[in-house]
Amino acid sequence: MYDKSFNGKRKTDDKYYAVRWKAHDPSNELKFFNMINRAKNYNDYTAAATNLHTPGQNIVFACKNGDIAIRAQGEFPARWKGQGDFVMPGTDSSYMWQGMIPQDEVPFQYNPARGFVSSANQRPVDSTYPYYLGRNYPPYRGFIINRKLNAMNNITPQDMMAMQADNYNVFAEMARPIFLKNIKENKLDNSEIKYFDELKHWNLRNDADSKGATVFAITWDSFKQVVWSDEYAKAPKPIMMPFESTLLEGILKDSAYSFLDNIETSGVETLADDATDAFKKAVARLKDIEADGKLEWAKYKDTHVDHLTKLAPFSRKHLSIGGGDHIINAAKPDHGPSWRMVVQLSTPTEAYGVYPGGQSGNPGSKFYDDFIDNWVAGKYYKLWFMQDADRKDKEVKWTMKFNKGK
C-alpha cells in the first residue's frame, strides 16, 4: 500500500494506491539455479528455466552440439493492451490480473534459421504475439547487434570482445540525416557553423575522444525539448516525455509530424524550423561545455564507478570510456555493462570476462579496483574452468566440505 504518509506528509484526501508485485508470490528460484548448473542439453535447460518466476530475465542457452536458445523468462501477467501502464480503479475487478502467461507461451527462440539469438532488451516478440508486454523496448542496440552478427562468419572470441566494446551509434545513423537535411545553414553564424561541421563530419562513433558525439547528443536533446515542450508545458507533473523512438520514428515516417508545430505561436513551424531552432539552442550549451574543456565525449559523459557509499575516495571517477545510450558499449555516467563475458564452446571450453571492480573489497588493497582500467579499454581476463585434475592446483586457496544432513 502507498499513501501520502510515505513521504512524511499528512494524508489530505481519501486516495490510496496499491501495487501488486509478483515477487510477493511464492516461487523457487533456487531450484532454477540448482537445475541450470546441472543442465546438459536443451530439455534440461527448459525444465530449469520454468522455475525462474521473478524477476523476469533473458536466459540464453548454447550447447556443444550446436543447439542455441533464448527465453524471456518469468511469470508474467496475461495483460490486455495498456493494462498497468497507468493507475487504474482498484474498485473494478475487471482491471485485476486475470491470469498468467503459460510457461510454454513465454517468448522464446530455439535454433532459429538465422543461426544466432540475441537480446539487448529490444521487444522479444512481433505484433502477432497474443499478450501485452508493455511499451518501452529501445530497439537500437538490438539493431546494431543483429546487423553485426548477420555479417560475421567464423567468429572468434576476439571478434565478440571487440563487438561488446563497440561504440558505433546506430541511433545517430538514423537521426543525424534529419539535422543535416533540415538545419538551415544560411541561418547559422560562424560559431554555429563550427559545431555544424563537427556534426556533419562525425564518424557516428561515440569514442572517448569524439567531439561529434557530444554535439549530436546535445542537439538531439535540444530537439526533443523544442518539439515536445509546448504540448507538455501545462501537463500535470510529474510527467515523462515520449520515448526517443516515438519522436524519431514519427519524423522518419512523416516530415510534417503534427507535434513539430509550436501550439503557442500563430504560425505553423516546420521540421526545418524546429531543427534550426534546436541546433542554435544546442550551440549555446556546447559553447559552455567546450569552455569547461568537456567537449570530448568521455569528458562530457563523465562515467564513474561509485562505491556503494557514494564516497569519492572509494570510487573511480572520470573514466575515459566511450559508449552510452543506444550503443552496444552501453557505458552511461553511472551504470552500464558491469559484466562482460565471452564463452567459446570448444574442447576444452574457453571463457573470458571482466568487470569494473577488482578481486578485493578492501580499498587499501592493490586488487580493489585493478580490473577497471582493463574494463575501460575493452580488455578481458581468461576465466578458469576447473577440472577434476585441478583439485590440488596452486590456485585453490582453500576448500569447504559439507556433511549431508547436518
DSSP H helices, 238-313, are 244-253, 271-291, 297-301
405: left (phi over 0), alpha (psi -120 to 50) or beta: left
| Residue 329 · residue 166 · CB < 8 Å | yes
- Residues 341 and 383: their CA atoms lie apart, in Å, by 9
All three cell numbers of 267, joined, read 504560425
Q: Using omega within 30 degrees of 0 as the cis cutoff, is the peptide bond preceding 238 cis?
A: yes
Question: Grid coordinates in use for 324?
Answer: 552510452
Spatial distance between the Cα atoms of 56 and 79, rounded to a whole number of angstroms: 15
pLDDT of residue 8: 47
Give dist(CA 350, CA 341) in Å, integer.
11
| pLDDT at site 13 | 57
- Measured in whole angstroms, the distance separating CA 48 from the mean position of its chain's CA atoms is 26
CA distance 154 to 159: 9
pLDDT of residue 41: 97
Q: Which residues contact 346 (CB under 8 A, 6 or more apart)?
A: none
pLDDT recorded at residue 402: 87
Give the domains, in start order, of the chain with CATH numbers: 18-134 (3.60.20.10), 170-301 (1.10.1400.10)
What is the pTM assigned to this prediction? 0.91
DSSP string, 308-328: TT--GGGSEEEE-----TTSS
Question: Do residues 331 and 323 touch, judged by C-beta distance below 8 A?
Answer: yes
State the virtual CA torsion across 216, 217, 221, 227 in degrees, nearest 10.
Answer: 30
- Tens-binned pLDDT, residue by residue, of the chain (406 aa): 444 555 544 454 566 777 888 999 999 999 999 999 999 999 999 999 999 999 999 999 999 999 999 999 999 999 999 998 888 888 888 888 889 999 999 999 999 999 999 999 999 999 999 999 998 899 999 999 999 999 999 999 999 999 999 999 999 999 999 999 999 999 999 999 999 999 999 999 999 999 999 999 999 999 999 999 999 998 888 788 899 999 999 999 999 999 999 999 999 999 999 999 999 999 999 999 999 999 999 999 999 999 989 999 999 999 999 999 999 999 999 999 999 999 999 999 999 999 999 999 899 999 999 999 999 999 999 999 888 889 889 989 888 888 887 6
